[in-house]
Amino acid sequence: MKRKSKVPGQRKHLPQKRLWVVSAMSTLALTGLLLRLGYVEVSNGAMFRSQATNVQVASYPVLPPRGFIYSSNDSVLAEDRPVFDAYLTRLPNTQVELPHMAARLAPWLHMSRAAVLAAMQTSPEAPEVVLAKNLSEAAISYIYEHQSELPGVRVQEDPVRYYPYGDLAAHILGYVGPITSANQNYYVNHLGYLESQIVGETGVEAQYEHYLRGTVGYQQDLISANGAPDRSIGMDPPAQSGDNLQLTINSAYQAYAQQIVANFVNTSEMKSEITEASAVVLDVKTGAVLALVSYPYYNPNWFINGNFLQHASYLEKSDALIDNAIQSPEYPGSAVKPANAIAAMESGTITPQTIVDDHGYLQIGNRIFHNWYLPGFGPINVEQAIEHSDDTFFYQVGLWLGGWTNNHYPNGETYSQWVKTRFVKAMDTIFGWEYKFGMGAMTGIDLPGEVPGSFYEENTQNNYQEVVYPLHQAEQSMAKKGYFDNWGALPDLAFADIGQSQQFTPIEMAQYVMTMADRGIKLEPHVLQAVYPADAAPNTKGAKPIYVFQPKVEARLNINPVYLNASLQGMYLMANAPGGLLYQGGFANSPYHAAGKTGTAQIEMNGRRIDNSVTIAFAPFHHPQIAIAVMVPGGGASTTTASHIAHRLFNAYFEMHHEFFPKSQWLPDTVPTNWANSFAAEQPNKGTMP
């Protein structure tokens, strides 16, 4: 059956109807949308235009916390604490408002209006400046509540350095300070620091600035044109804290050491003569610094909290900022005799069996040089000479080193020939071996500002004035030409051999006795033990260091064991035999059986002749653990001052390590609870010397 055809025109008119309906609906929708947009534009357009015009993104630098510094027993020695500081961000067209803002802020910042305005106008090229630090709660509240009246002023949490134990280990830790104009080019232009950052000035703070500094972050905020905060976007990038350091010093032992030195100086009969004192304790097997004391003390917090000027007079008069342990060379006296005995034996000048008949003096040229013990010790060998610190023995050995016998230079030579050859060779032998042991040289300790010691002679062409003896230049000339032009004096050989023609620092003396204890192995002293990442600390379970210091052998001295044993045995007798000066100076019957050497040298200080009191020692003798050097200018004879300090330092160490002493005498491995009230802690705060 055929399908009927649709009515003509039907296919034409039906689609047109549908299109009309769709078109009408679209028109209505579009009309509604336009009406809505018009409404929004009329009612809210002003607000949107205002926000688009007035709200901008501001980026503020956020200072990173410096890394913490820990002791070997996990005490926090330096940390950062949060404080709130006021900043001014320079905005367009706000200069005219600065005087009014300064007037509003002045009473809340406890500053004068002029001081606040001056702070606002500091470094005009900088995008922002610090107005005040460590704001009070009242100041913080005022700034937040009056933000619209203080365009560009904001409050930011910043880290501030803090040393919980005050002057404890201050000369090791050092202190921090602002970037100055003198070092701005280095820190700001070269290393990319912000002008507002603090940097290490001295000590570990300066030595390991690259670990401690951290990375600056930036806070992104939306602010209105008048500087009022709108809302925070967040940190991009976030500030990153510095790495944490662990040092080799034990906080408890360091505290005991500072108390021992300060208390002894304060009670000494020579108190009025003593202006400084220092002590160094080294681990014989690693070179680690277990304690380092430089007296008088200072508090590194003085450089943080703004009261530095209150202590300026004390610091200037006392020279407390000088680290005497590494920066103050002094005459060591007889403490060098064990090394000089080795020099004489190694050169073939004497043997361990060589005898010198000590009558209490020795004539050198036309002068008489006395032994410290005027009656003399009679016939004496190397071991006995070290035990009794016999001067006459070493006077004679010094002359023999120069070929000077029977009070005359060798036959067939003139004095001018002798002084340029044999004399120089003898001086090079004495000073050269001292240098090998670490004296007169940089030890390499990882603290800035180390000052090496020096060697001296008297210049006969210049009224016998003491001048520096150029050891290395003389050695090179002797090796190349066989002579060295020199105008030294005959007594120099005697003076050099008893430690009166050289100046060394306590750290050099400590390295020397440590090398003796370790039978010729010379280690580099160090204060850094390990470095930990910012999110870890030595006392954090599972914390892994990113760096661990490994002992560094600077040299292995090739010493004949027989000669070394002779010197060591003399040092042992000095501390353990009734006739030994250390035995008489406090070491009698010590259970750890130390070995050491005293030294007393005349020095001039503040126009007066005084004695420099020196002691070097190590213990135990057969299995050495620690080596100690003590130096007290003005302390009188070594047996009355330095040796007693050294003895107490040994006692404290072994009482802490529970060796050789009964349990009733053991010391805890924590900073003494009375530390804050101890004389050692109070001395710098009182701003007076004993």
Q: 687 pLDDT band (50/70/90 cuts)?
A: low
Please answer whether residues 460 and 447 qualify as being in contact, where contact means their C-beta atoms are separated by less than 8 angstroms.
no
649 class by beta-carbon count within 10 Å (0-12 exposed, 13-18 middle, 19+ buried):
buried
First to last CA, the chain: 134
- For residue 227, the model assigns a pLDDT of 57
Q: Is the pLDDT of residue 453 over 70?
A: yes
Least-confidence region, from 131-135, 295-299, 676-680? 676-680
Whichever domain contains 108, its CATH number is 3.90.1310.10
- For residue 222, the model assigns a pLDDT of 80
Strand partners of residue 81 = 160
Please answer whether residues 388 and 380 qualify as being in contact, where contact means their C-beta atoms are separated by less than 8 angstroms.
yes
- What value does the mean pLDDT of the chain take? 89
The pair of three-digit structure tokens given for residue 38, joined into one six-digit string = 């018009």
- For residue 112, the model assigns a pLDDT of 95
Distances, alpha carbon 676 to alpha carbons 12, 65, 146, 296, 551, in Å: 106, 26, 42, 16, 34
Instruction: Examine residue 52 and state whether it is found in any structural domain, yes or no.
Output: no
Please answer whether residues 389 and 334 qualify as being in contact, where contact means their C-beta atoms are separated by less than 8 angstroms.
yes
Nearest CA to 199 out of 29, 448, 508, 8 is that of: 448
Please answer whether residues 572 and 382 qualify as being in contact, where contact means their C-beta atoms are separated by less than 8 angstroms.
no
Give counts: helices (H), strands (E), the chain. 23, 26
Instruction: Examine residue 181 and state whether it is found in any structural domain, yes or no.
Output: yes
Q: What average pLDDT score do residues 450-458 get?
A: 98
Structural domain count, the chain: 1
Nearest CA to 116 out of 125, 124, 108 is that of: 108
pTM: 0.88
- For residue 6, the model assigns a pLDDT of 40
Instruction: Examine residue 519 and state whether it is found in any structural domain, yes or no.
Output: no
- What is the DSSP code string of 126-147? SSEEEEESS--HHHHHHHHHTG
Instruction: Examine residue 94 and state whether it is found in any structural domain, yes or no.
Output: yes
Q: Is the pLDDT of residue 673 over 50?
A: yes
- For residue 212, the model assigns a pLDDT of 98
Peptide bond into 127 cis (omega under 30): no
- For residue 24, the model assigns a pLDDT of 47
Strand partners of residue 617 = 596, 628
- For residue 688, the model assigns a pLDDT of 54
Note down the domain range covering 234: 61-247
Q: What is the pLDDT of residues 267-294, one digit of tens each?
A: 998 888 999 999 999 999 999 999 999 9
Q: What is the pLDDT of residues 52-62, one digit of tens each?
A: 455 677 788 88
Q: 99 pLDDT band (50/70/90 cuts)?
A: very high
The pair of three-digit structure tokens given for residue 570, joined into one six-digit string = 């003399």
- For residue 412, the model assigns a pLDDT of 80
Rounded to a whole number of angstroms, the CA Rg of the chain reads: 37
Instruction: Examine residue 369 and state whether it is found in any structural domain, yes or no.
Output: no
Q: What average pLDDT score do residues 446-460 get?
A: 97
Instruction: Examine residue 342 and state whether it is found in any structural domain, yes or no.
Output: no
Q: How many residues does the chain have?
A: 690
Residue found by looking up tokens 């003389």 in the block: 474
Which of the two residues, 159 and 229, has the higher pLDDT score? 159
Instruction: Examine residue 360 and state whether it is found in any structural domain, yes or no.
Output: no
Q: Which of 98-102, 126-130, 140-144, 565-569 has the highest mean pLDDT?
A: 565-569
Which of the two residues, 555 and 51, has the higher pLDDT score? 555
Q: What is the pLDDT of residues 358-412, one digit of tens each?
A: 999 999 988 999 999 999 999 999 999 999 999 999 999 999 999 998 888 888 8
Q: What is the pLDDT of residues 534-551, one digit of tens each?
A: 999 998 888 999 999 999
Q: Is the pLDDT of residue 334 over 50?
A: yes
Instruction: Examine residue 458 and state whether it is found in any structural domain, yes or no.
Output: no
